[in-house]
């Protein structure tokens, strides 16, 4: 059941694309998938793990400023790879109509 979500979601765009094109035009229809994905970023931000409690008596060795909010570099590379994969995956549904 968990893996079938990707297959079922692949069946939704073909009937949905003509409806979006009629309702919003081609420009609006191309803006909706990124808008939905952008909302998922906010949902994913809520899944950050809690930082472990500190027990050292020395000065904190935090990363400065906004770097504290970012995950480690290996995760950023992993996430960027999926962003690029998703950018190319949606093309057949858009141009199929």
**What are all long-range contacts of 89-93, with beta carbons under 8 Å and residues at least 24 apart?**
90/13, 90/33, 93/13, 93/14, 93/17
In a domain, 96, yes or no: no
5-16 average pLDDT score: 72
Is residue 58 included in any domain, yes or no?
A: no
Instruction: For tokens 């909302």, name the residue.
Output: 39
The pLDDT of residue 32 is: 87
Residues of the domain holding 28: 7-48+65-90
Q: What is the pLDDT of residue 25?
A: 93
Q: Is 85 contained in some domain?
A: yes
Model confidence over 22-56: pLDDT tens digits? 999 989 988 888 888 888 888 887 877 777 776 66
Decide if 57 is inside a domain: no
Asked if the structure places residue 53 within a domain, the reply is no
Residue 56 domain flag:
no
Does the pLDDT value for residue 83 go beyond 60? yes
Domain count, the chain: 1
């Amino acid at each position: 059941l968990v893996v079938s979500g990707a297959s079922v979601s692949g069946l939704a765009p073909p009937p949905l694309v003509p409806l979006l094109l009629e309702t919003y035009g081609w420009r609006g229809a191309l803006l909706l998938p990124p808008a939905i994905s952008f909302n998922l970023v906010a949902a994913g931000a809520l899944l950050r793990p809690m930082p472990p409690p500190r027990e050292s008596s020395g000065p904190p060795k935090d990363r400065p400023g906004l770097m504290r909010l970012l995950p480690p570099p290996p995760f950023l590379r992993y996430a960027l790879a999926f962003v690029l994969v998703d950018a190319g995956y949606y093309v057949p549904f858009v141009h199929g109509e």
